[in-house]
Amino acid sequence: MGFWQRLQEYRDREAGLRWEGTFRDYLELVRRKPWICQLAHSRIYRMILSAGVEEVNGRRRYSFFTRELFGLEEVIEKLVEEYLRPAAEGLEVRKRILLLVGPVGGGKSTLVNLLKRGLEEYSRTEEGAVYAIKGCPMHEEPLHLIPPPLRPEFEREFGVRIEGDLCPLCRLRLETEFGGRIEEVPVERIFFSEKKRVGIGTFAPSDPKSQDIAELTGSIDFSTITHYGAESDPRAYCFDGELNVANRGIMEFMEMLKCDERFLWNLIFLAQEGNFKAGRFALIYADEMIIGHSNETEYKAFVANRRNEALLSRMIVLRVPYNLRVSEEIKIYEKLLRQSQFGGVHLAPHALRVAAMFSVLSRLKESHRQGVDLVKKMRLYDGEEVEGFTPADVEELRAEHPDEGMSGVDPRYVINRLCVALAASEGECLTALEVLRSLKEGLDQHPSITPEERERILSLISLVRREYDELVKRDVQRALLASFESAAQALFERYVDNLRAYCQGIKRRDLLSGEEISPEEDFMRSLELQIGIGETAKRSFREEIFFRLSAYARQGKSFSYRDHEGLREAVEKKLLADLREMLRLTLSSSEQGRLEEVKERLIRLYGYCPHCAREAIRYVGSNLCT
């Protein structure tokens, strides 16, 4: 199919979406599709649900956000369940301004943009169709044409509740153009668009001395006053303020708390009563979700000012902290890099992981709990199993510092340094060590990092370096042993065979001779000592694994060495310890043939390229196997 044919199909689809008719025709649509006249909060809530919802680890995950936002599942769940859902049901929450508060680069603007872009797309679907009085600058809900005395009867017949009144211009047109005959008023389908200023308004603060309130509420068209005779004539007024155009959709306030007070005062009536004051008119009805965002410093200053109490009481504050999970942070960088021009540069394994570990560690706070350091905390938060800790322990750790994630290194700094490193890589490959070097070198250019904070961050880079050492050493060692997985599984099965005999107090049968023999205590201890299981703790450790084996068997599931974090670590450490001498010999100059085999396996099995595979082998050989 050629481009011009696709273009014609696009035009045909656009034409097929359009609809025009009279108010009488619109009522027939309402009878068949009552959802087309829903209010703004309800429309946004239905839009999010229409993308799909799934339960993950007891938490609802909304597919609408999953492609762009990572590590903010709890924030999103609060947004939908504690704000949008009750607001969609018409409860008092819809009369509140939603304020997103969080550190720079935490995802506040991305969240709002998702809602705005989503509404634009949703209004082009059958389920999200929106209709308005044709020619109305505020995209008026046509049901506002029905006189208030007749609304109870209409609601009984159609099952639709009407809220709101006509804007001044539509009220005048109804009287002068149509003589009160509401059935003849033209109605059209509209499509939300921020660029065309339909259903989506955006306000950004600037110099209070030069910024005019007309940006929010519209202004008088002085060129028409001589024609219409008065400023109070709706035809002499431009209903083009952001609050006007956002009717039926979303009103975004960028850096809301930096706005001059007189701009925020308009929100008091709009939030509570759904009305705002403009020109020499009575209060104008507007149906819109008001959402602002601000940083923590501005918010604290705003709260401290007692003059803001009236507005604060009409706000619902949703904190948006930095992501605290390494796996989700990696997704953030992957998304940002996909939008860049460095698609041809190979990213070595662990390159983004070390950047993510660095970011997350900078956001974590030290725990008061004994035996918990920042690295363990990072792993627990990322869902990894750490010996001696349960999910309940993770919740306790989170409760220690409710403001955790509200400070630290932001993703923008990291992505800037990644881009610097990518540009310096000359199109070959970006390794994890180059990423760490770039992150370290950029600290002097970071304007908000104090000397004390710089020392703390440098220590975190050292922590990440040690974590990387273990990761790359494991890769090289695994590549050295081609059958690592099968060898690990065989080691595991041997341990489990002995463990069953030990826990059941029976003999095990030798596979070769068929004789009954006692459990191999020395072998079992050699494995358990790899993870520090002492003599007094061995029985409880073995019984825990035995119970896990029994539970899997009852469920008809097979149990692998990867299904228990402690056992997985013990098996791998035991196997890799046995390989250490082999690795040292292989990385010597006399074993070049085997070196090529290791490099080939790193490329084929673990995502390395020839350059970073060579560098990994050299690094492990020179630094970690001496």
**pLDDT single digits (tens) 417-426:** 998 888 887 6
CA-based nearest residue to 389, from 265, 163, 189, 381 = 381
Q: In this predicted structure, what is the pLDDT of residue 594?
A: 66
Q: In this predicted structure, what is the pLDDT of residue 343?
A: 63
560 vs 435, which has greater pLDDT?
Answer: 435
pLDDT tens per residue, range 316-335:
999 999 999 999 999 999 99
Residue 404 binned pLDDT confidence (cut-offs 50, 70, 90):
very high
Residue 84 binned pLDDT confidence (cut-offs 50, 70, 90):
very high
Highest mean pLDDT among 521-525, 570-574, 585-589: 521-525
Region 541-546: what's the mean pLDDT? 88
Q: What are phi and psi of 319, to 5 degrees?
A: -80, 135
Q: In this predicted structure, what is the pLDDT of residue 596?
A: 82
Least confident of 167-171, 192-196, 278-282, 291-295: 278-282
pLDDT tens per residue, range 231-282:
888 888 999 999 999 999 999 999 888 887 777 887 888 888 888 888 788 8
Confirm if 192 and 199 have CB atoms less than 8 A apart: yes
Region 583-602: what's the mean pLDDT? 68
Q: In this predicted structure, what is the pLDDT of residue 570?
A: 86
Residue 29 binned pLDDT confidence (cut-offs 50, 70, 90):
very high
Region 470-487: what's the mean pLDDT? 79
Q: In this predicted structure, what is the pLDDT of residue 231?
A: 80
Residues 6+ apart with CB under 8 A from 285: 144, 164, 165, 167, 274, 275
CA-based nearest residue to 241, from 269, 268, 221 = 221
167 vs 626, which has greater pLDDT?
Answer: 167
Residue 360 binned pLDDT confidence (cut-offs 50, 70, 90):
very high
Highest mean pLDDT among 405-419, 473-487, 489-503: 405-419
Least confident of 121-125, 277-281, 448-452, 539-543: 448-452
Q: In this predicted structure, what is the pLDDT of residue 482?
A: 65
Region 595-608: what's the mean pLDDT? 87
231 vs 289, which has greater pLDDT?
Answer: 289
Residue 488 binned pLDDT confidence (cut-offs 50, 70, 90):
confident
Highest mean pLDDT among 284-293, 523-532, 546-555: 284-293
Q: Given phi > 0 = left and psi -120 to 50 = alpha, else beta, which region is 182?
A: alpha
Confirm if 87 and 45 have CB atoms less than 8 A apart: yes
Angle of CA points 602, 606, 610, to nearest 5°: 45
Was domain 3-319 assigned CATH 3.40.50.300? yes
Residue 341 binned pLDDT confidence (cut-offs 50, 70, 90):
low
pLDDT tens per residue, range 494-525:
888 888 888 888 887 765 556 778 888 888 89
Q: In this predicted structure, what is the pLDDT of residue 478?
A: 80
Whether the pLDDT of residue 356 is over 70: the answer is yes
Q: In this predicted structure, what is the pLDDT of residue 224?
A: 84
pLDDT tens per residue, range 62-79:
999 998 999 999 999 999
Whether the pLDDT of residue 589 is over 70: the answer is no
Residue 586 binned pLDDT confidence (cut-offs 50, 70, 90):
low
Query: Tokens standing for 62?
Result: 């909304």
CB-hemisphere CA count at 13 Å for 250? 27
Q: In this predicted structure, what is the pLDDT of residue 486?
A: 72
CA-based nearest residue to 321, from 441, 402, 245, 214 = 402
Q: In this predicted structure, what is the pLDDT of residue 258?
A: 86
Q: In this predicted structure, what is the pLDDT of residue 625?
A: 55
Q: In this predicted structure, what is the pLDDT of residue 184?
A: 94
- Quickly count: other Cβ atoms within 10 Å of residue 374's Cβ: 17
Domain ranges of the chain: 3-319, 326-469, 484-576
Rounded Cα gap, residues 481 and 150, in angstroms: 82
Region 278-297: what's the mean pLDDT? 90
- Quickly count: other Cβ atoms within 10 Å of residue 376's Cβ: 18
Q: Given phi > 0 = left and psi -120 to 50 = alpha, else beta, which region is 203?
A: beta
Q: In this predicted structure, what is the pLDDT of residue 293?
A: 93
Region 389-399: what's the mean pLDDT? 88
Q: What are the CB-based long-range contacts (under 8 Å, 24+) for 477-480? A: 477/576, 477/579, 477/580, 477/583, 478/576, 478/605, 478/606, 479/598, 479/599, 479/601, 479/602, 479/605, 479/606, 480/579, 480/582, 480/583, 480/586, 480/594, 480/598
Percent of the chain with pLDDT over 90: 47
Q: In this predicted structure, what is the pLDDT of residue 186?
A: 97
Q: In this predicted structure, what is the pLDDT of residue 583?
A: 60
Confirm if 258 and 205 have CB atoms less than 8 A apart: yes
Confirm if 280 and 273 have CB atoms less than 8 A apart: no
Confirm if 489 and 457 have CB atoms less than 8 A apart: no
Residue given tokens 């060129």 in the structure block:
223
Query: Tokens standing for 287?
Result: 């149906």
Q: What are phi and psi of 508, to 5 degrees?
A: -110, 155
Q: Given phi > 0 = left and psi -120 to 50 = alpha, else beta, which region is 541?
A: alpha
CA-based nearest residue to 24, from 152, 145, 116 = 145
215 vs 593, which has greater pLDDT?
Answer: 215
Residue 51 binned pLDDT confidence (cut-offs 50, 70, 90):
very high
Q: In this predicted structure, what is the pLDDT of residue 359?
A: 95
Return the HEC string of 309-362. HHHHCCEEEEECCCCCCHHHHHHHHHHHHHCCCCCCCEECCCHHHHHHHHHHHH
Average pLDDT, the chain: 88
Confirm if 252 and 294 have CB atoms less than 8 A apart: no
Confirm if 233 and 292 have CB atoms less than 8 A apart: no
- Quickly count: other Cβ atoms within 10 Å of residue 512's Cβ: 5
